[in-house]
Structure 1
Amino acid sequence: MSRRAWIAGSAVVTMLCSLLIVGGRALPAQAANDDPPRKIVTGWMPYWNTKGGMATIMANADLFPEVMPFWFSVKSQTNVLDQYDPANAAPMADQVKALQAAGIKVVPSLTDGTGKLAMQKILGDATKRAQLVKTLADLAVKNGFDGLDLDWEGFAFTDGTASWAVTSPLWTTFVKELAIKLHAQGDILSVTTPDVRDPASGKKGYWVYNWPEIGPVIDRLRIMTYDYSVANPGPIGPLSWVDQVTKYAATLMAPSKIWVGVPTYGRDWVIAVDGRCPDGVDLKAPKGATAGTKAVVNSRDAAALAASYQATPVWTESYGEYSFNYTKVYAPADGAAEKTCVVTRTVWYQDARSVAARAALVAKYKIGGVAFWSLGIEDPLTWPSVRLYAKTIAPDVVLGSIDAPSTPVDFATPVTLTATFKVSDSRPVAGAPISFQIMRNSDTDWREIATATTSVTGVAQIKLVASQYVQVRAVAAGTWERLTGTSPAKNIAVQRLIGSLGVNAPRLGSKVVVKAQLLPAQGVDVVLEEWIDGTWVAVSSGASGNDGAILLTATVRQAGFHTYRVSARSDSYFETVLSQAISTIVR
């Protein structure tokens, strides 16, 4: 594990030192290995930027385990608005298939479009809540999604804090019920929320989302660790704040469920207007805002904006963000001085260096990764730097094998199964919990029959009593350090048992009678064979009784010694089995 020994306590520093800082820009050093990177990136793909989002995702598919297309809005317990189709020519199904073909799970986001306190009323009515659970689960099945992401921000930003005491338990009940439904159909439940604070800090954050209660039942928590500064100029998501929120979340649920939000945008505030601006000059950005409010700057464009005004972005270490000021003079075409103004603006934004600093939290707290809002507008240098880092924390590939008898074994006879697990460089996987699993012909999936722990040599053994044909395999559970390892399946063929034969001593022209006992004792086709002229020849057939008793007869037409055996033919559960031979004399 030497390539990971440096992670604890120094991941941020090491990552940043591996980048070349040129003109305030972070350029990745050459990756030192060809290991596949840990899949530590996900994000939201807005319906209004499908082309850009898909291009980003497909170009970096090796980093994405899943993605959250921003496609739907819940309008009532029975109505979910499709926002994708009106905005895009390509069918939604084509995007889903393309992502899944690239090995990326599709977990679309659903916003709360019901209006102030409307969702609280739905969740408070057991009948409507059940309808909503069904509506959402059916949406996932109908479209072949891999799960759903609830991005219900109305509780936090529309309903008002006075509603939270009522909303929180209703929300919790709903999440638990939806989790049961989605998990039953094999789907993921993801929840996106603003930050919830550790009560010990004296701050509660958006506690309405009840992380302590929903954490154990959800599969993903996406934390909106951005928009820290909105009304007033400041960092978009200061690193120290992101760290604190992540640390607290990791105490409430499996850290691997947690994904830290990363903004791929900055904000551009008007901080001063000197003079009278010309008629028609619009300082309001975005449209409709007033001077002093923020505009949005894409991360990919922020450095170019600074350069266009000869501004130098300044890195603030504790925030993990850049900022700069710039001024712009607006003058009328007629040169009238009384209609000239100077506008001063301040910009805060995150770039590739910022993302690298937040990605370092993945190793620090062993969380799932980072989630970009939104995909397709990020700093292009983000991808090589994140990929470099993801390679350094890539989990080991685990190779497994299982030894089992290669020839048929007798019914109800214990056999030894030996599983061996190593990582790709042949180091043994020691102390790993191993699940031994079987699949019979009548099974539709693998099922666990026993567990064991690997020795220092990476070996685990169990005894299996084989009762019919079966496939066996062993699975080493994945951890932070290594991927799940599954051995190739081995077939174990089982044959029935035929007890010692009994035979009479018939006279010429009468019948020879051969008796035996078959296990397991179910009606089975059996054949009586005689050794004639150097080969076995079938002379009679029948079936075992329900108690396993075999009684076969054949007419004897020649005096002398006669040798017989009984065979039980193969079927979907057992191999062909042959009894020992027995001889008799005919006079």
Structure 2
Amino acid sequence: MVKKARTAEREAVPRRAARWPRKRRHLLGSAYLLLLLGCALLLVALSLTPAPAPTSQRQTLVVGALPFWNIGGGTETLVTHRESVNGVSPWMYGIGPNGGITTQYSPEDSDKVDRNLSRLRDAGLPVMPTLANITEGRWAYEPVARMLHDPELMRRHVAGIVSLVQREGYNGIDIDYEDLRARDRDAFTGFITLLAERLHAVDKKLSVALFAKTTDAGYDERNVAQDYAAIGRVADQVRLMGYDYHWSTSEPGAVAPVGWVRDVLDYAKTRIPPDKIVLGVPLYGYDWVDGHGESVTWLEAFRLATEHGAKVRYDRDRQAPWFRYTDEKGREHEVWFENAASSRAKFEAVRAAGIRGVYLWMYGHEDVGMWPALRDTLPVG
């Protein structure tokens, strides 16, 4: 938003000194010279004195993002490394066909989810769960589109989110609505603006997950639908999905090449206040064969390389490990994944960019060496 400069009108200065006695004018002139001299000396002193350091700095944010299928293992890991994290977002809510809020996990898993949420709270971790446009286990566009373009449905959806956050005692909500169309851009911004207003009114926070991009248009409609600047003005956190540069149906390659990550952060900082930007860091990889990639954890990648005697290489340009192996059917695989070194490279990019922090997409069984790299690079204090 460009503010128009205001032009101040000059006021005429009264020539009172002309009516004062000569002696008083002389004394005033001397006092005036002394005042000017004092001001000059003060300016010189200030120019030679370093600016004081800020009295406080916003705390680095490190959030564990736990998909519901890893809620048990992820909780155990976060509790073990409690000194390295200060937030958690279980990825656990979805949307019903009419805009209602559903759980992504089955009813028989409810007790397990509740137990792990209690453990996270007992560890002092603020809980801000993620609500994604998942309907019956699949990404779904229609329920979100219907809500975005129907004012009454939007109002009810927002009210339902606020009610959920208050009822469950959450710190706030993280919205992850993906695969929108370009025509949804203004409606999505309107929804996020309304939701932020209603959450802030009850002292709750809003985080919004957005696709990583290096221009406003990005690479397709899903990027156009997300207005970085408008969302950055109203949300408390903007979580950039700094992963899946290569994905399950792409050609093999690094999940989050560090050069691309730096470009994403450079662009984001031109649109979003840096202290609201949180970078998503993947802790997983893909095993590609016959044109398709299956997701793998660090432990699974390590096991595959060991079993097949594959030599793990490290791409210095992309800051990512990878290897190839041939399976029992004679098919050649290519695996790119994340380890402590590749994670450290992204943590260092975050520190250099001066943004708020990171969220760790904890698919499961990450490289244990990632935790000391995190503590060294982005200590939560």
TM range (shorter): 0.7 to 0.9
In 2, Cα distance between the equivalents of 1:294 and 1:101? Answer: 38
- Provide the identity percentage: 30
In 2, Cα distance between the equivalents of 1:85 and 1:183? Answer: 31
Deviations 1:487-509 (A, max 9, x none): xxxxxxxxxxxxxxxxxxxxxxx
In 1, Cα distance between the equivalents of 2:167 and 2:320? Answer: 42
What residue is the counterpart of 1:69 in the other structure?
90
Could you tell me which of 239, 254, 258 is aligned with 2:273? 254
Could you tell me which of 129, 135, 142 is aligned with 1:108? 129
In 1, Cα distance between the equivalents of 2:311 and 2:341? Answer: 16
Contact 2:212 2:264 in 1 (8 A): yes
Contact 2:92 2:131 in 1 (8 A): yes
Specify the SS of the correspondent of 1:305: helix
Distance verdict in 2 for CA 1:199–1:145, change over 3 Å: closer
What residue is the counterpart of 2:333 in the other structure?
345
Instruction: Write the mapping of 1:144-293 to structure 2, written as runs, cut at 5 A.
Output: 144-155=169-180, 163-164=181-182, 166-199=183-216, 206-230=223-247, 231-270=250-289, 291-293=290-292
In 1, Cα distance between the equivalents of 2:176 and 2:93? Answer: 10
What residue is the counterpart of 2:148 in the other structure?
123
Specify the SS of the correspondent of 1:119: helix
Q: Which structure's relative contact order is higher, taking Cα pairs within 8 Å and 6+ residues apart?
A: 2
2:366 equivalent to 1:367: no
Offset of residue 50 of structure 1: 1.5
In 2, Cα distance between the equivalents of 1:201 and 1:149? Answer: 22
Offset of residue 264 of structure 1: 1.4
Contact 2:178 2:222 in 1 (8 A): no
2:159 equivalent to 1:134: yes
In 2, Cα distance between the equivalents of 1:120 and 1:253? Answer: 25
Normalised by the size of structure 1, how large is the TM-score? 0.51
Distance verdict in 2 for CA 1:89–1:136, change over 3 Å: closer
Offset of residue 354 of structure 1: 0.7
Distance verdict in 2 for CA 1:311–1:363, change over 3 Å: same
Specify the SS of the correspondent of 1:226: coil
What residue is the counterpart of 2:307 in the other structure?
308
Distance verdict in 2 for CA 1:170–1:103, change over 3 Å: same
Normalised by the size of structure 2, how large is the TM-score? 0.77
2:378 equivalent to 1:387: no
Offset of residue 327 of structure 1: 1.2
Distance verdict in 2 for CA 1:310–1:210, change over 3 Å: same
Amino acid at match of 2:189: T
Q: Which has the larger radius of gyration?
A: 1
Deviations 1:398-448 (A, max 9, x none): xxxxxxxxxxxxxxxxxxxxxxxxxxxxxxxxxxxxxxxxxxxxxxxxxxx
Specify the SS of the correspondent of 1:259: strand
Q: Which has the higher strand share?
A: 1
In 1, Cα distance between the equivalents of 2:331 and 2:219? Answer: 39
Instruction: Write the mapping of 1:426-465 to structure 2, written as runs, cut at 5 A.
Output: none
In 2, Cα distance between the equivalents of 1:113 and 1:303? Answer: 31
Distance verdict in 2 for CA 1:139–1:45, change over 3 Å: same
Contact 2:216 2:223 in 1 (8 A): no
What residue is the counterpart of 1:543 in the other structure?
none
Amino acid at match of 1:262: V
Between 373-382 and 138-147, report the one with greater CA deviation: 373-382
In 2, Cα distance between the equivalents of 1:310 and 1:238? Answer: 25
In 1, Cα distance between the equivalents of 2:223 and 2:124? Answer: 34
Offset of residue 121 of structure 1: 2.2
Specify the SS of the correspondent of 1:175: helix
In 2, Cα distance between the equivalents of 1:343 and 1:173? Answer: 49
In 2, Cα distance between the equivalents of 1:265 and 1:202? Answer: 23
Offset of residue 202 of structure 1: 9.5
Contact 1:195 1:205 in 2 (8 A): no
In 1, Cα distance between the equivalents of 2:254 and 2:108? Answer: 32
In 2, Cα distance between the equivalents of 1:150 and 1:78? Answer: 14
In 1, Cα distance between the equivalents of 2:171 and 2:61? Answer: 18
Distance verdict in 2 for CA 1:351–1:175, change over 3 Å: same
Instruction: Write the mapping of 1:326-341 to structure 2, written as runs, cut at 5 A.
Output: 326-330=325-329
Contact 2:90 2:129 in 1 (8 A): yes
Q: Which has the higher helix share?
A: 2
In 2, Cα distance between the equivalents of 1:249 and 1:232? Answer: 26
Deviations 1:54-75 (A, max 9, x none): 0111111222221110111011
In 2, Cα distance between the equivalents of 1:300 and 1:92? Answer: 24
Amino acid at match of 1:154: D
What residue is the counterpart of 2:320 in the other structure?
321
Distance verdict in 2 for CA 1:43–1:255, change over 3 Å: same
Specify the SS of the correspondent of 1:88: helix
What residue is the counterpart of 2:343 in the other structure?
355
Offset of residue 111 of structure 1: 1.0
Count of residue pairs the alignment pairs up: 317
In 2, Cα distance between the equivalents of 1:52 and 1:351? Answer: 18
Offset of residue 103 of structure 1: 2.3
What residue is the counterpart of 1:582 in the other structure?
none
Contiguous gaps of at least 5 residues in structure 2: 1-58
Contiguous gaps of at least 5 residues in structure 1: 1-37, 156-162, 271-290, 331-341, 396-587
In 2, Cα distance between the equivalents of 1:329 and 1:100? Answer: 46
